[in-house]
Structure 1
């Protein structure tokens, strides 16, 4: 399997299914830099989003897309599916895999929808099985305004198991997935996102250290340095991993970086 990190939560998983190449695009935010609203309103950190361009090679990567997977998309969560992402999926009639809650919302926007059956482990449209894992995208009063969504554990024939966490805090459900289901690769959000008021709504660098203690697999960290309300830097995560001795199991990709993962959870740069 190859994983290409495009920007923020947008990644491309490439693998073979029944002898055919699959390009699974996760949470496409494809808008140009600075064309989406700011997510902070006070202080000097406010900036229109996304705060970086899509990387070189994005067009070539998008040409390899055959399917899409959405973790959440309602209540204004443009950082996981924006207008440009919807247009791309609609114009190319890309089948979109999602939870039942999002099916009608996506279909109303002209997308080809393949809803999962519910929150239980189930056969996956691309082979193997998928297990949805509930997200908690903030606690307290701020949680009332958030779309919590689901992450997904993908168990594909002949491929490393991959857990795509989505937007979540380090909850008991996330801990259980890491410790009990033991994915070979876990793609986790470490941006430490927060608005001008309220607590964090996303994991941060310290949570990555806790996650590393729960699973022997490789951690791939995203949600970094692409949105104005995510203060965690790549350097901070790498430094913490080096201090804790788990940097050999960590990949903090730059935008546009691609890496190959084997079923033995050994990562090889491509």
Structure 2
């Protein structure tokens, strides 16, 4: 299995002959609204804060499917929708997102929540995600992560945008994914608590994992408070640097 870190939450997973783009956000730098502070209130366009890798056309060559955790614009945007439609790429998503994505003209395979679904010649299980604690989490709406098991490949858990809930802990400790992708940017809007795991929650998620953890969702949107340097130092201070992988945009990780 190969995992390519593209930008923010966008990754490409290669599973034998299948190539799956997860949460595609393809907008050029500065085309999307700000999500932070006074810029949010003034509807400034500052996101994404970095460009996509220069060789995106090559990276997307051969993509067979897409996988969507939720429909916020930093996880599927207009350029991504156009790309998926132009290339007739089938999209896996949660039951809750089926209607909205079909209305956008996408070919959709909805996945039943909290149970195993067929995924090529393996299985995929949506896992509930909570996009923040308290009222802000409710306001952010639904979302899921995914636990993927494919014959001959390492098991993979993509948490999606979530804080560290008991459900997330159970997946990590009971299902023991060999690889986990965690949204690590500690995103926060102009009001309310952070929308993603805090530093303590990120440390706990890595500590609980029996496998290795890829931390992404950083340095591409202006509402993310943790950058790679901070997170690498945090993992090093807690002697977790051998379990935590913090890729730069464009990095390819071979997952054995």
The TM tier, using the shorter chain, reads: over 0.9
Q: 2:104 aligns with which of 93, 103, 109?
A: 109
- 2:129–2:145: 8 Å Cα contact kept in structure 1? yes
Q: Who is 1:232 aligned against?
A: 226
Q: Distance in 2 between matches of 1:30 and 1:85?
A: 5
Please give the TM-score of this superposition, normalised by the length of structure 2: 0.95
Q: Who is 1:148 aligned against?
A: 142
Map 1:149-188 to 2 at 5 A: 149-188=143-182
Q: Who is 1:68 aligned against?
A: 66
Give the alignment's Cα RMSD to 1 decimal. 1.5
Task: Point out where structure 1 has 5 or more consecutive residues left out of the alignment.
Answer: 263-270
Q: Distance in 2 between matches of 1:256 and 1:38?
A: 24
Q: Who is 2:91 aligned against?
A: 96
Please give the TM-score of this superposition, normalised by the length of structure 1: 0.90
Q: Distance in 2 between matches of 1:133 and 1:94?
A: 23
Partner-residue secondary structure (3-state), 2:32: coil
- 2:10–2:23: 8 Å Cα contact kept in structure 1? yes
Q: Who is 1:30 aligned against?
A: 26
Partner-residue secondary structure (3-state), 2:38: coil
Deviation at 1:107, TM superposition (A): 0.9
Q: 1:90-131 deviations in whole A, cap 9, x for unaligned?
A: 11110000111111111111111111133212322x221111
Q: 1:122-141 deviations in whole A, cap 9, x for unaligned?
A: 322x2211111100001222
Q: Distance in 2 between matches of 1:141 and 1:166?
A: 19
Aligned residues: 253
Q: Distance in 2 between matches of 1:128 and 1:258?
A: 23
Q: Distance in 2 between matches of 1:107 and 1:131?
A: 21
Q: 1:41-94 deviations in whole A, cap 9, x for unaligned?
A: 3279x8611000001222111112100000001xxx100000011001011110
Change (3 A) 1:86 1:43: closer
Q: Which runs of 4+ in 1 moved over 4 A?
A: none
Q: 1:123-170 deviations in whole A, cap 9, x for unaligned?
A: 22x221111110000122222321231000000110010101100001
Task: Point out where structure 2 has 5 or more consecutive residues left out of the alignment.
Answer: none
Q: 1:256 aligns with which of 250, 253, 256?
A: 250
